Structure 1
Amino acid sequence: MSQDFNQELTDDLRDEYDFDQMQGGVRGKYVQEYRQGTNLVLLEPDVAQAFPNDEAVNKALRLLMEITNRQQLS
């Protein structure tokens, strides 16, 4: 092992950080609220290549919605 890994870590935390009092944290406590506020969609690489930006994706989806609505009305 190199000497970098063998050196002791220095404690740079302030004295007022008392981790004994910081218990009971819940992982992902606000994940549902976060997901409701975002509309992030991951595209497969081949689809992303055809749609270089969000405007292109929105335009294509609106066109698809329009075609679908016209077909349902006929």
Structure 2
Amino acid sequence: MIHVENVSKTFVLHQQNGVRLPVLQNASLKVNSGECVVLHGHSGSGKSTLLRSLYANYLPDEGHIHIRHADEWGRPGSGPRA
């Protein structure tokens, strides 16, 4: 399960006189185990920033990200297929 709660991220453009560029503002998302989702949006809308925040490449300025991993290989019939 992935649970994103009110995540915000702003980048500071140091080479442009410290201009602040808000990329995510109070983004929330919940993806349950087994669900498949698509992130869709215009260029610059924060899709990559959200994904990079999920794997901790970027730390959010505000909000929380909760990820609970489940071992799918331990379930009967869920092993690799021949």
The interval holding the TM-score normalised by the smaller chain is under 0.3
Normalised by the size of structure 1, how large is the TM-score?
Answer: 0.22
Q: Which has the higher helix share?
A: 1
TM-score (norm 2): 0.20
Higher strand share: 2
Greater relative CO (CA pairs within 8 A, separation 6+): 2
